[in-house]
Amino acid sequence: MITLVDYDAGNTYNLQKAFAYLGVETNLTDDQDELLASEAIVLPGVGAFQSAMTVLKAKKLDTTLQKAATAGIPLLGICLGMQLLFDTSSEYGITEGLHLIPGNIIELPAKKGFKIPQMGWNQNNLLQPDSEFSLLEDEYTYFVHSYYAKCDPKYVVSEVEYSVNVPAVVQNKNVFGMQFHPEKSGHIGLEILKTFKERVVVK
């Protein structure tokens, strides 16, 4: 079963609804054993990096997620959940993340015509045509964020343009991250969640 990490993260209910709509059973838990025994883990998240890491650490879920990733369990971080996968974030001072994908989370540059947060539908530019998520090519997905991942392009599956190139989907082996909200990206968003279940989790 797919397990959603329960840590008061915000978009959990809508993600559960999207999986339910697809007929995919999910389990919302903060139990370490349940997480390590699951078929795949989804780390949701809306809000601030620092407070999210504080909650994960308090529940000892940081080490659980690191163990799960090392054990090869597919792990998908969404929005803030994606950002948490990286090394650090500069939101409200430097905070360490989960170190599952090399790179850092920094603020979107302030530039005329590019309001912060980026809020709305942006078009994906696919960088890795062989990815499981190649269906994203040229598709619009829904973003709400003020910080973005700065990392080696080898981890970037697709990106969008917003004054800078913003990684939209990142991957490091069995660890995946999506800056956009698949659960709010209409038909293509549901297809992406379905792809995660059918092509990533089954492997």
Partner 1 sequence: MLAKRIIPCLDIDDNRVKKGVNFVNLSDVGDPAVIAAEYERQGADELVFLDITATNQKRSTMIDVVENVSRQVFMPLTVGGGIRDVQDMQKLLKAGADKISLNSAAVANPQLIQAGAQKFGNQCIVVAIDVKKDQKTGQKMVYTHGGKQSTELDAIEWAKTAVTLGAGELLITSMDKDGTKSGFDLELYQEMAAAVDVPIIASGGAGKITDFIDVFKKAPVDGALAASVFHFGELTIPQVKGKLAAAGVNVR
* Contact (Cβ atoms closer than 8 angstroms) between residue 131 and residue 120: no
Q: Where are the beta strands (DSSP E) in 98-139?
A: 104-107, 118-123, 125-126
- Which of 132, 139, 145, 181 does the annotation list as catalytic? 181
159 is an interface residue for partner 1 by CB under 8 A = no
Q: Which residues contact 115 (CB under 8 A, 6 or more apart)?
A: none
> Are the C-beta atoms of residues 161 and 125 closer than 8 Å to each other?
yes
> Which residue is catalytic, options 39, 79, 145, 198?
79
Q: Is the peptide bond before 117 cis (omega within 30 degrees of 0)?
A: yes
Residue 91 annotated as catalytic: no
List 36, 47, 66, 104, residue binding partner 1 (CB under 8 A): 47
Tokens for 119, please give them: 């809020």
How far, in Å, CA of 71 to CA of 92, rounded?
32
Q: Is 96 a catalytic residue?
A: no
Residues in the chain: 203
Select the span of 30-38, 51-59, 101-109, 141-149 touching partner 1 (CB under 8 A): 141-149
Q: Which of residues 57-116 bind partner 1 (CB under 8 A)?
A: 113, 115
Q: Stretches 16-24, 26-34, 64-72, 151-159: which one binds partner 1 (CB under 8 A)?
A: 16-24
Query: Does residue 144 interact with partner 1 by CB under 8 A?
Result: yes
d(CA 135, CA 187): 12
Residue from the set 6, 87, 121, 137 that interacts with partner 1 by CB under 8 A: 121
**Cα 200 to the chain's mean position, in Å?**
14
Cβ-based nearer residue to partner 1, 190 or 200: 190
Query: By CB under 8 A, which span of 31-39, 49-57, 85-93, 186-194 interacts with partner 1?
Result: 186-194
Burial (CB count <10 Å: 0-12, 13-18, 19+), residue 203: exposed
Is 159 an active-site residue? no
Write out the residues near partner 1 by the rule CB under 8 A: 13-14, 17-18, 20-21, 46-47, 113, 115, 117-123, 140, 142-144, 161-162, 183-187, 189-190
Residues with active-site annotation:
79, 181, 183
